[in-house]
Structure 1
């Protein structure tokens, strides 16, 4: 299917932001439209990820929001750069709970740069930051996210920001005055310049209450909670990492603008030294100055951020007034809302932590995960399903695909679908024959992933168009199998009886026996998914003296539930289980006859 540029009249949020970003970029770089003018510079959108622990699905919104906007801009023929700043020069704030290979001894590294903290035991990576960065890099490749990575440890330690650091120190009085307005006012912005963004305030007020798990999943970069540089010796927007212990528990005690001589002491080890800041590269600007400095340095036009950056006095609000000091302006920056997890308690791979993109991609295909971020506006919270809800989610996705195919889809839904299945670079890999996820999950649940049994059952679902090879239903089949094996508790897995329940069969009344006889009598002539669906729903209708295609009544629905419960008890010992037509196909005619007392 060809890639079609989205019209600016589209109703989806991505197109609207793309319109704003393109217009703002042209405003910032005027004079590039006339004949003979130099080519317009690439439009810059940005994300920031602090690899301080597992990068979870809440953090992924920090990447997916600008990715989707950048991709739309590319589709329209513009050059765009999506920068991801790896904030690996942030301090190590705390030891995350439940990470394999990490114990309480890692507390001794609190205060060091993330790139100076050892990786978890057994990791092939050289340090903490690289360990957690690697998993996200792999997931972004699978998701089709095109970006340019910027390593902040490298930027700071190479001296790339030296002039910006010296400028911030010269302008520290001006920066301090800006911060002071936010420190002393509960609701800053009476002057119309330094206050919170009204749109963001409205977005925050519209958020629904969230539980603790969602708050954890929404937690942003650790840098968001850093101090702003205020100390007893005055205000200094720069914090050195100690030359004795490599921690940032330092206080600048003196600075000379002419010589750039800077003196600091360390509260952790007592080390003190005087350095020339014009030659010193072992420290960084405090977060509320670092972020707006980078907006100017990189020319960022669009960068979203989480709720933690959006309250009065937070980094995004303060950055509006600090960025001009560095010769730039604050980017368009929508606030993004929480990403919750449905069924998170069943997670095993994260060992108690919130799930990561890699965890999600084990149980769902990349286009589906992309769709979850594309179909909701950034300020709308949503949940990602790890429980039974994933089956309903896949049903919704398949219905959307069918509407796209037959041309009945709404424009905004079509746009979200297009953004999910392809990027400006091309189509994402998909399943050639996307059978219902719930069906595939039921089959692998019953077969235990046995390939020969699986292909036999799948081939019988639609005898007129049988599945001949499992590759036809991959990778969706593999995702469904991973979901069954990692997310469904053992006591909810399906175990088919090996022998009939003679005691239960002997206790049945004549009506129950007759319903089983009717079912067994119709097996051969109804042996397909559609046929067995008609049969299992039709038996209670016939028992009630109705035609097999009669519309169900409330009384009939009760009779059907009773009949289904009996079949489940006789086949899998419980009163619930996979959809009965799928279960019957999986068990096979001979075994069904045996277990039902034929």
Structure 2
């Protein structure tokens, strides 16, 4: 049974009036492909619950109030360095047309997960604070700061300063949050200082003041530290299912701390947890700010939506995905796997593969093309193959085959019909040259590629020439290398008079 179906059955048995599935992300820059795995995992659970007739909703929270704590390498330092320490929703967008930095990168990511069939309701953490829903838990956290401090110290085996408070205030003078520190709480207001040199990477303004920590529709005053804010959001929204990557879910990780705060301070049942492995690119974990790895939107440029979704659907949650598009067979093999899963679905064979294919679909279930990706990659390199590509329903995949050929295919998979007779034809044997002349003479009598391919083999038998010598002669004459795509299809894609002359010239 598919893992999401097992979880949905388990959740159905507990009989909650509503299962609320949630995931979240800070839009601190281009959101990498690894974060997309969480979106798909939660989407699969949501859809499995719906299929099992469970009342369920699925939300995705963008933590747009978090500070910019690092400057992405792809942004100009002279423009954005000044915003380090500021909440993301207060930073201007790097592109016109968006209300903020946070909205721009959030929408970029949302466009990708919508494209691969994930459509959660979008929530913004700023709205949670403005709605005043967080205020009661902010007060409770400040009132019980010593208990929370004890939980931190139990978990991390280190002593926190006596003046530590579980709240991050927005400076009322400069607007930064990373540079502030709360020093007191009287039950109604916090006292704070915005330190100029507290951090190496962000400058505060030196202002000290006293202000209410409670936000309203007009103004956000500050935020809970995220390890406290995480369980606060669980309670405020009523979340019942939420997973996270293994870095958060490992023993002693942030989820363990959030669990203790959720249970001891907020008295709320911890949502059903799902720990999932990383999505690696070439064996490396990715970073939004460091510019390492593929962003989610960049991955959609090299893979169609259903194939990108398929990568994550087919992989067990406790198994890392290591996807390296530069591997010579990575992308072709992925398309082959998808076609195999489709065969199992339509021919009602392996149930697990069939289910994986079913859950990889974006909208309605569609049968993929039968032509292998590697064959298509050859076709897009041949002239005059547009009609064949259209006939086989391959226009959509052809775009990605072209990208693979141009960006990732090994040299052995790339070819170009040479405008002039390649010098390598001088090294052909007399038998090979004789074969090319006879092949040129018989081109007028063939009707289609299948017939021509058969004739190529028949002629090699008649002349007692090994087929590998025959094909290498054809490829050398046309491509200047001893290998290439299916010879008949290559010949059929080219102008007949050009082919006849080229074979004649090579036979001399």
* TM-score normalised by length of structure 1: 0.73
Q: Is the counterpart of residue 427 in structure 1 residue 364 in structure 2?
A: yes
In structure 2, which of residues 157, 165, 172 is the aligned counterpart of residue 243 of structure 1? 172
Whole-angstrom CA distance in 1 between matches of 2:121 and 2:235: 17
In structure 2, which of residues 321, 339, 346 is the aligned counterpart of residue 398 of structure 1? 339
In structure 1, which of residues 275, 283, 287 is the aligned counterpart of residue 211 of structure 2? 275
In structure 1, which of residues 150, 157, 176 is the aligned counterpart of residue 123 of structure 2? 150
The answer for the alignment partner of 1:83 in structure 2 is 59
Q: Is the counterpart of residue 125 in structure 1 residue 98 in structure 2?
A: yes
Asked whether the equivalents of residues 306 and 336 of structure 1 are also in contact (C-alpha less than 8 Å), the reply is: yes
Secondary structure in 1 aligned to 2:107?
helix
Question: What CA deviation, in whole Å up to 9, does each residue of 1:500-523 have, x standing for no partner?
Answer: 23x433442223224434654665
Secondary structure in 2 aligned to 1:112?
coil
More displaced, 126-135 or 380-389? 380-389
Secondary structure in 2 aligned to 1:569?
helix
Asked whether the equivalents of residues 437 and 504 of structure 2 are also in contact (C-alpha less than 8 Å), the reply is: no
| Deviation (angstroms), 1:537 | 6.4
In structure 1, which of residues 173, 193, 206 is the aligned counterpart of residue 146 of structure 2? 173
Structure 2 counterparts to residues 440-455 of structure 1, below 5 A: 440-447=376-383, 453-455=384-386
Whole-angstrom CA distance in 1 between matches of 2:351 and 2:80: 51
| 1:571–1:391 Cα change, 3 Å | same
Secondary structure in 2 aligned to 1:82?
strand
Q: Is the counterpart of residue 70 in structure 1 residue 50 in structure 2?
A: no
Question: What CA deviation, in whole Å up to 9, does each residue of 1:108-134 have, x standing for no partner?
Answer: 2111111122222x4432221111111
Whole-angstrom CA distance in 2 between matches of 1:104 and 1:580: 56
| 1:582–1:69 Cα change, 3 Å | farther
Gaps of 5+ in 2: 196-203
| Deviation (angstroms), 1:158 | 4.1
Whole-angstrom CA distance in 2 between matches of 1:536 and 1:171: 84
Q: Is the counterpart of residue 337 in structure 1 residue 262 in structure 2?
A: no
| 1:342–1:596 Cα change, 3 Å | farther
Q: Is the counterpart of residue 115 in structure 1 residue 89 in structure 2?
A: yes
The answer for the alignment partner of 1:297 in structure 2 is 236
Question: What CA deviation, in whole Å up to 9, does each residue of 1:353-383 have, x standing for no partner?
Answer: 4223332333332222222111111111123
| Deviation (angstroms), 1:351 | 12
Question: What CA deviation, in whole Å up to 9, does each residue of 1:213-260 have, x standing for no partner?
Answer: xxxxxxxxxxxxxxxxx8634331111122222222111111113xx2
The answer for the alignment partner of 2:256 in structure 1 is 317
More displaced, 350-359 or 509-518? 350-359
The answer for the alignment partner of 2:200 in structure 1 is none
| 1:418–1:181 Cα change, 3 Å | same
Whole-angstrom CA distance in 2 between matches of 1:539 and 1:392: 34
| Deviation (angstroms), 1:44 | 0.6
Q: Is the counterpart of residue 504 in structure 1 residue 443 in structure 2?
A: no
Whole-angstrom CA distance in 1 between matches of 2:413 and 2:353: 35
In structure 2, which of residues 1, 5, 9 is the aligned counterpart of residue 19 of structure 1? 9
Secondary structure in 1 aligned to 2:209?
strand
Secondary structure in 2 aligned to 1:513?
helix
In structure 1, which of residues 263, 266, 274 is the aligned counterpart of residue 194 of structure 2? 266
| 1:336–1:538 Cα change, 3 Å | farther
Gaps of 5+ in 1: 1-10, 30-39, 186-229, 345-349, 448-452, 460-466, 546-555
Whole-angstrom CA distance in 1 between matches of 2:40 and 2:454: 43
Secondary structure in 2 aligned to 1:355?
coil
Whole-angstrom CA distance in 1 between matches of 2:358 and 2:382: 35
Secondary structure in 2 aligned to 1:119?
coil
| 1:522–1:310 Cα change, 3 Å | farther
More displaced, 318-327 or 520-529? 520-529
Asked whether the equivalents of residues 307 and 338 of structure 2 are also in contact (C-alpha less than 8 Å), the reply is: yes
Secondary structure in 2 aligned to 1:326?
coil
* TM-score normalised by length of structure 2: 0.86
| 1:51–1:500 Cα change, 3 Å | same
Whole-angstrom CA distance in 2 between matches of 1:343 and 1:12: 26
Whole-angstrom CA distance in 1 between matches of 2:167 and 2:69: 18
Question: What CA deviation, in whole Å up to 9, does each residue of 1:412-456 have, x standing for no partner?
Answer: 11111111125xxx516x577554333333222334xxxxx3334
Whole-angstrom CA distance in 2 between matches of 1:530 and 1:293: 66
Asked whether the equivalents of residues 283 and 322 of structure 2 are also in contact (C-alpha less than 8 Å), the reply is: no
| 1:374–1:592 Cα change, 3 Å | same
Asked whether the equivalents of residues 431 and 475 of structure 1 are also in contact (C-alpha less than 8 Å), the reply is: no
Question: What CA deviation, in whole Å up to 9, does each residue of 1:233-289 have, x standing for no partner?
Answer: 4331111122222222111111113xx221010112111110123467321110110
The answer for the alignment partner of 2:266 in structure 1 is 326
The answer for the alignment partner of 1:7 in structure 2 is none
Asked whether the equivalents of residues 457 and 585 of structure 1 are also in contact (C-alpha less than 8 Å), the reply is: no
Whole-angstrom CA distance in 2 between matches of 1:88 and 1:496: 52
In structure 2, which of residues 114, 127, 131 is the aligned counterpart of residue 141 of structure 1? 114
Secondary structure in 2 aligned to 1:85?
strand
Secondary structure in 2 aligned to 1:254?
strand
| 1:539–1:390 Cα change, 3 Å | farther
| Deviation (angstroms), 1:92 | 0.7
Secondary structure in 2 aligned to 1:253?
strand
Whole-angstrom CA distance in 2 between matches of 1:431 and 1:161: 48
Secondary structure in 1 aligned to 2:504?
coil
Whole-angstrom CA distance in 2 between matches of 1:352 and 1:179: 32
| 1:508–1:294 Cα change, 3 Å | same
